[in-house]
Amino acid sequence: MTAPLIGRRTFLKVGLAGSLMLASVGRVGAATADEEAALLAAISAALLAGMLPAAASARTQALNDTVAGVRHAVAGLSPSTQKEIAELFSLLGFPLARRFLAGVSAPWAEARTEDVAAFLENWRHSRYSLLQTAYGALHDLVLGAWYARPEHWAAIGYPGTPEIF
Amino acid sequence: MTDPQPRQQRDPLREGLAAGWKHIDASTLQADTLLEADVAIIGSGAGGGVAAELLSHAGLKVILVEEGPLMMTSDFRMHEAEAYPQLYQESAARKTVDKAITILQGRCVGGSTTVNWTSSFRTPPTTLAFWQEALGLQQLSVESMAPWFAAMEHRLGIRPWPVEPNANNGLLAQGAEKIGVPVHGIPRNVRGCWNLGYCGMGCPVGAKQSMLVTTIPAALSRGAVLISRLRAERLIFSPQQRIIGLKGRAMQPDGVRAGRISVRIRARHFVLAGGAVGSPALLLRSQAPDPHGLLGRRTFLHPTVVSAGVFEQRVEGYAGAPQTIYSDHYLEQFPVDGPLGFKLETPPLHPVLYSTTLQGFGEVHADKMRDFPHAQVLIALLRDGFHRESRGGRVRLRSDGSPALDYPLNEVFWEAARRALLAMAEIQFAAGAQRVTPVHEGTLGYASWAEAQRGIAALPLKPLACRVVSAHVMGGCAMGDTPVRGVVDQRGRHFQIENLTICDGSIFPTSIGANPQLSIYGLAARNISLLAAELQNRPAPAIP
């Protein structure tokens, strides 16, 4: 399996638009908590496809728990890493960045899981280490938050911690 | 298998504290504080723990400083979600500057000894010979170090593991033997081990002979003072370049940020044991003398690549002692300074560690996770620091004073990483794997050894595409025979700072080529025995 080739147009998008948007993030400010929750839920839905429950209410609850788990995990990182993660979330919460850097046209709350998955796959194999590391952070935060929870262990056949006390 | 023991575990450290041993949780201090001691020890891991026991045993007044929290045997509940934020640096997600290497490093009382997987190897003869011949460290021979290793093996219950390996380790042995690769058992530092498999989250039964249950209680019982959640911010120097004090800052209860309360510690002598990231970082923040530009340089990691196999039978890599079988076959193929060799071991498998390490996402990742009980994982720890082009990394400071480790992965590394991925796949298929997946973004795995050979040969090995991890940080304050070649001498004494001993993995001039805890214990026992005699004006012990 080889990484998808990224064409010249994407390079321009990332090179020009990316740096413009990164520069403007500071000015537009951080995403609101709701915006951040919406983007994290959309990204989690793509990363966790195949594990999420089908029923709408259970799915929503599972995604909410995952978003809370991601935030809890971020709070345990070093201040410098927390700052980087906050910048990443702000960038993704910025509509122009979502549209042109991630390639997701609909707002996060309405985004189709296939489109979010395509964005993640692009960043995963990006030639730009900045996007690769952003994908890596999302991968580790979301999957870590999911599999930290005992209610998700039965699906992978993990019996849980032994009873000793 | 497991020793029958009463359900109510004793926790001697908790009992001792209740009986009056001195521990200060700096995050609870309400006012700035000044403390005095004969010796201040910074860091409570393998080096700091041994130093605390030996110095307090010698009758010296000791203060032991730790940035992480004091979590005890009876606190450990084997949950990754609790253990990683509580017990590890940066929630077990510390990374190199380019984020290509994830580093597991302890940050709690006991340091990495509280969370390591118990593997206990003496410094390999090849490594000591290289230090003697190529680096001029004449005093450190197999013979001269043997009594120190023996003493620490005795102290920490280190002996061959008498129990059948778990299936994860057993398959390493079976596969390796099928292709003629010799394997051996790993000595472990345990007493009364229950064979649970959760060493990485703090031993819940106090069996692992970490510093938390051995040297630190011994030091506290002799009057040493432990201060947890105190960040060592900077060392204060006299005009004569003697250290006159340590300025520490109490951590906030979140354990992430330092607060406003300061703690100053005055002492005659300072022992620095903050690990190979923390120790050079403290010296850099303190603008310590570094006339030859060696501080923070040549930091080594045993950079490690990972291979996941799936077997028809259940493997249950989460259960049982995590590391009991190893092979040094691929360390011995080439001269020590030739193409990089690697040590083969296994890691424990737990849901968070496994799911975040495994590449990909969505349905593909979910499918691989459903194989979790059938997964068998091998790791190859590359021996860095011996080849001319294997120069390791460098610890620098960020603008906020926190350490950043830059570790470029070069061609010499990737050439060895490819051999390692091949070797692991060959062993896993020989052991009967149905599928083997190198942890790399560019593959979904292979169904046969022939397919794996072709696939791995063609994999683009690059940072961020190929997962690289480390649990062993070494170097940055290297020993040398002269000040031009080292930050400290062969006794760990700083060449320019008269009252400073460095006593952790940062003094290794190369990587060790084996899990480093016993190398740190042995060298610490030797160097601190010499220091204790000097500080007490006693004759130094006869050292070969």
Taking CA–CA distances from B366, the nearest residue in chain A reads A50
Residue-wise pLDDT for B113-141, tens only, equals 999 999 999 999 999 999 999 999 999 99
Report pLDDT digits (tens) over A120-161.
Answer: 999 999 999 999 999 999 999 999 999 999 999 999 999 999
Task: Note the pLDDT tens digit of each residue in B493-502.
Answer: 999 999 999 9
Percent with pLDDT over 90 in chain B = 96
CA distances B467 to B272, B304, B440, B463, Å, are 32, 8, 6, 8
Which residues of chain B neighbour A139 with C-beta distances below 8 Å? Answer: 356, 361
Closest-CA residue to B141 (of B129, B150, B130, B124): B129
Give the model's confidence band at A20: pLDDT under 50 very low, under 70 low, under 90 confident, else very high: low
Rounded to whole angstroms, how far apart are CA atoms B308 and B354? 10
In this structure, what token pair is assigned to residue B154?
């005795």
Rg (C-alpha) for chain A, rounded Å, is 17
Q: Which CATH architecture has domain B167-188+304-383+410-462?
A: 2-Layer Sandwich (3.30)
Start-end of H helices in B461-536: 517-535
pLDDT band for position B10 (50/70/90)?
Answer: confident
A25-37: pLDDT as tens digits: 555 566 788 999 9
pLDDT averaged over every residue in chain B: 96
**A163 pLDDT band (50/70/90 cuts)?**
confident
Q: Calculate mean pLDDT across residues A71-93.
A: 95
Q: What is residue A89's three-state secondary structure?
A: helix
Task: State how far Cα B88 lies from the chain centre.
Answer: 11
The pLDDT of residue A14: 53
pLDDT, mean of residues B504-516: 98
* Burial label, A111 (beta-carbon count in 10 A; 0-12, 13-18, 19+): buried
Comparing CA positions, the residue from B398, B335, B347, B332 lying closest to residue B119 is: B347
Q: Is the pLDDT of residue A165 over 70?
A: no
Residue count of chain A? 165
pLDDT for the residue numbered B493: 98
What is the predicted pLDDT for the residue at B2? 45
Using CA atoms, how far residue B130 sits from B142, B511, B513, in Å, is 11, 11, 12
Query: CA-based angle A127:A129:A131, to the nearest 5?
Result: 85
| CATH 3.30.410, chain B: domain bounds | 167-188+304-383+410-462
Per-residue model confidence as pLDDT tens digits over B79-102: 999 999 999 999 999 999 999 999
Looking only at the bridges linking them, the beta strands covering B225-228 and B230-237 are unpaired
Partner B, chain A 12-41, Cβ-Cβ below 8 Å: none
**Rounded-to-integer distance, Cα B489 and Cα B40, Å:** 20
The pLDDT of residue B7 is above 60: no
Chain A residue numbers with beta carbons less than 8 Å from the beta carbon of B404 are 80
Tell me the pLDDT band of B1, cut-offs 50, 70 and 90: very low
C-beta separation of B297 from B408 below 8 A = no
Interface size A-B, in CB pairs within 8 Å, comes to 133
Per-residue pLDDT at B42: 98
> Does position B108 have pLDDT exceeding 70, yes or no?
yes
**CB of A151 less than 8 A from some CB of B:** no
CA-to-CA distance for B57 and A79, rounded, in angstroms? 39
Comparing A5-14, B114-123, B397-406, the range with the smallest average pLDDT is A5-14
Question: 0.90 cut: is pTM over it?
Answer: yes
The predicted structure's pLDDT at residue B541: 80
**pLDDT exceeds cutoff 50 at A2:** no
CA dist B458 and B451 (Å) reads 11
Facing A1 at nearest CB: one of B94, B369, B442 = B442
Longest CA–CA separation in chain A, Å? 61
Q: Tokens 């793509």: give the residue.
A: A46
| CA dist., res. B417 & res. B306, Å (int) | 10
Task: Tell me the residues of chain B between 131 and 170 that have a Cβ less than 8 Å away from chain A.
Answer: none
Residue B102, min C-alpha distance to chain A (Å): 11
B198 touches chain A (CB under 8 A): yes
Average pLDDT over residues B137-153: 97
Contact in structure between B70 and B109 (CB atoms under 8 Å): yes
Interface test with A, best of B195, B352, B372, B374 (most A CBs within 10 A): B352
Give how far Cα B217 sits from Cα of A63, B81, B118, B221, B230, Å: 44, 27, 19, 6, 19
CA distance B246 to B248: 6
Q: Are B534 and B544 in contact (CB under 8 A)?
A: no
Q: Find the closest chain B residue to A156 by CA distance.
A: B370
Instruction: Judge contact between B355 and A143, C-beta under 8 A.
Output: yes
CATH code 3.50.50.60 region(s) in chain B: 18-118+121-155+190-299+472-535
Q: Reply yes or no on whether the pLDDT at A19 is more than 90.
A: no
For residues B403-407, average pLDDT = 98
Determine the residue of chain A that is closest to B398 in CA distance: A80
Whether chain B has a CB inside 8 Å of the CB on A75: the answer is yes
Q: Which residues contact B143 (CB under 8 A, 6 or more apart)?
A: B544
> Which class for B5: exposed (0-12), middle (13-18), buried (19 or more C-beta within 10 A)?
middle
Share above pLDDT 70 across residues of chain B, in percent, rounded to a whole number: 98
Q: Nearest chain A Cα to B92, which residue?
A: A77
pLDDT of residue A26: 55
Whether residue B426 is predicted with pLDDT greater than 50 in this model: the reply is yes
- Please list every residue in chain B whose beta carbon sits closer than 8 Å to the beta carbon of residue A133: 98-99, 464
A63 alpha-carbon distance from chain centroid: 12
Q: Do A50 and B204 touch (CB under 8 A)?
A: no
Cβ of A129 and B362 within 8 Å?
Answer: no
The one-character DSSP state at A17 is I
A51, A78, A81: residue with CB nearest B366: A51
Task: Tell me what the mean pLDDT of segment B195-222 comes to.
Answer: 98
pLDDT in tens, B458-489: 999 999 999 999 999 999 999 999 999 999 99
- Give residue A30's pLDDT: 66
Mutation to test the A interface, candidates B77, B355, B396, B454, most A Cβ within 10 Å: B355
Q: Is the pLDDT of residue B8 over 70?
A: no
**In this complex, is the C-beta atom of B81 within 8 Å of any C-beta atom belonging to chain A?**
yes
**What kind of architecture, by CATH, is found in domain B18-118+121-155+190-299+472-535?**
3-Layer(bba) Sandwich (3.50)
**A21 pLDDT tier (thresholds 50, 70, 90):** low
pLDDT in tens, B233-280: 999 999 999 999 999 999 998 899 999 999 999 999 999 999 999 999
Residue of A nearest to B460 (CA): A2
Residues making up chain B, counted from first to last:
544
Least confident of B288-292, B341-345, B516-520, B534-538: B534-538
CB contact under 8 A, B366 and A158: no
From the list A2, A48, A77, which residue is nearest B91 (CB)?
Answer: A77
